[in-house]
C-alpha cells in the first residue's frame, strides 16, 4: 500500500526539475537578448560618431580662414572649449545649440541619430620638413584643431565620444 502514490510523487518531482530548467533557460535567453541589443546600440552610436567626425573634418577642410574660431557656434578658441565630461553639453534637450554643432544621419528606416561636435583651435601648425607627397616646398598656412564628437545609440542608453586632432590648410 505504501508504493501506491510513489509514481505520482516521482512524476511531480521530475516535472518540477524540468520547470526549473526551462525558467533558467528563459532567463539566460532574455539576458543574451539584452546584451545583443545593447551591443547593437553601442555599435550604432560608434558608427554615427564616426560619420560625425568625417563631416566635422570636411567642415575644417572647407574653412577659408580661422576667423570662425571664438565667434561662430561650435568653434572655440584655444583653451576655451567646454570640458567634454560635462554631460549636459551633449544632451540635446539641455544644451543651447549655439555651443556645439549637430548633424543627423538616417542609418535605418525611421531611425535618425544625431552626432554633436565642436572644434577647438590648437594654433598654427609648424611644418619642419617637406612631406613625400608634397609637390613643392612652398610654405602653406597650416593650422591644427581638436574635434570632439559625441553620438548616442537609438535607445539613448549608449554613448560614444571621439576626440581627434586635424591639421588643415586655409590657403585657397
* pLDDT tens, N- to C-terminus, the chain (172 residues): 566 778 888 889 999 999 999 988 888 888 888 888 889 889 989 999 999 999 999 989 888 888 888 888 889 988 888 888 877 777 766 655 456 677 777 766 667 788 889 999 998 887 766 666 666 655 567 899 999 999 888 888 888 999 999 988 876 5
- Which residue ranges make up each domain of the chain? 6-169
3-state SS class at 150: strand
From residue 140, how far is each of 7, 69, 125, 143, 156 by CA, in Å?
92, 19, 10, 10, 43
Query: Where are the strands (E) in the chain, listed by range?
Result: 75-76, 101-108, 111-124, 142-152, 159-169
0.75 exceeded by pTM: no
HSE, side-chain direction, 13 A CA sphere, residue 121: 19
Q: Which of 122, 148, 14, 109 is nearest to 66 (CA)?
A: 122
Q: How far apart are the C-alpha atoms of 89 and 102, rounded to whole Å?
A: 12
* Bridge partner list, 161: 150
Strand partners, 124: 143
The confidence score (pLDDT) of residue 99 equals: 64
| pLDDT at residue 19, rounded to an integer | 92
Q: How far apart are CA 146 and CA 80, in angstroms?
A: 12
Cα of first residue to Cα of last residue in the chain, in angstroms, is 103
Q: Could you tell me which residues come within 8 angstroms of residue 54 by beta carbon, excluding any fewer than 6 positions away?
A: none
At 53 the pLDDT is 94
Cβ neighbours of 13 (radius 10 Å) = 10
Residue carrying C-alpha cell 601648425: 125
Q: Which residues contact 80 (CB under 8 A, 6 or more apart)?
A: 70, 120
Q: Which three cell numbers stand for residue 169?
A: 590648410
Amino acid at each position: 500500500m505504501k508504493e501506491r502514490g510513489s509514481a505520482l510523487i516521482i512524476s511531480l518531482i521530475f516535472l518540477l526539475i524540468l520547470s526549473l530548467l526551462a525558467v533558467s533557460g528563459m532567463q539566460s535567453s532574455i539576458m543574451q537578448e539584452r546584451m545583443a541589443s545593447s551591443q547593437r546600440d553601442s555599435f550604432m552610436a560608434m558608427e554615427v560618431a564616426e560619420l560625425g567626425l568625417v563631416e566635422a573634418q570636411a567642415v575644417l577642410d572647407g574653412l577659408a580662414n580661422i576667423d570662425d574660431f571664438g565667434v561662430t557656434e561650435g568653434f572655440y578658441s584655444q583653451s576655451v572649449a567646454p570640458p567634454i565630461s560635462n554631460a549636459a553639453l551633449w544632451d540635446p534637450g539641455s544644451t543651447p545649440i549655439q555651443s556645439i554643432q549637430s548633424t543627423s544621419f538616417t542609418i535605418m528606416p525611421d531611425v535618425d541619430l544625431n552626432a554633436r561636435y565642436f572644434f577647438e583651435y590648437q594654433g598654427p601648425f609648424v611644418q619642419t620638413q617637406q612631406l613625400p607627397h608634397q609637390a613643392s616646398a612652398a610654405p602653406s598656412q597650416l593650422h591644427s584643431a581638436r574635434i570632439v564628437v559625441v553620438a548616442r545609440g537609438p535607445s539613448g542608453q549608449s554613448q560614444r565620444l571621439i576626440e581627434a586632432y586635424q591639421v588643415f590648410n586655409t590657403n585657397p
